């Protein structure tokens, strides 16, 4: 299987920077693992959107997948209680 490239929106990068240090490494590792398998076990497609979500402890990573150009774009990263709010 080909490797996907990872893109992170500026807003998502800022959200990653604000994560607590003890969760930061796990979230970054999970994002990098999406390059090998953008639909890992446990990921879910969000029903009303063309986004997927993957869990990392109490944090969620929302992303889109573009299969034609092999790209995963991280859209939002946040705590599970806040990440789905607009």
Q: Which domains does the chain have, with CATH numbers?
A: 10-79 (3.30.2310.20)
| 85 DSSP assignment | -
Q: How many CB atoms lie within 10 A of CB 20?
A: 10
Cα–Cα distance for residue pair 54/58, rounded to 1 Å: 11
The full length of the chain comes to 86
| 4 DSSP assignment | P
For residue 44, what pLDDT is reported?
A: 95
Cα–Cα distance for residue pair 62/23, rounded to 1 Å: 16
Cα–Cα distance for residue pair 58/83, rounded to 1 Å: 11
For residue 67, what pLDDT is reported?
A: 92
**Mean pLDDT in consecutive groups of 10 residues from the start of the chain, 86 residues:** 92 95 94 95 91 95 95 96 84
């Amino acid at each position: 299987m080909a490797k996907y490239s990872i893109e992170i929106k500026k807003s998502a990068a800022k959200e990653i920077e604000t994560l607590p240090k003890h969760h930061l490494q796990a979230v970054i590792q999970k994002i990098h693992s999406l390059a090998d398998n953008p639909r890992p076990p446990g990921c879910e497609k969000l029903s009303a959107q063309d986004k997927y979500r993957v869990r990392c402890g109490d944090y969620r990573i929302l992303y889109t997948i573009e299969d034609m150009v092999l790209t995963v774009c991280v859209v939002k990263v946040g705590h599970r209680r806040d990440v789905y709010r607009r």
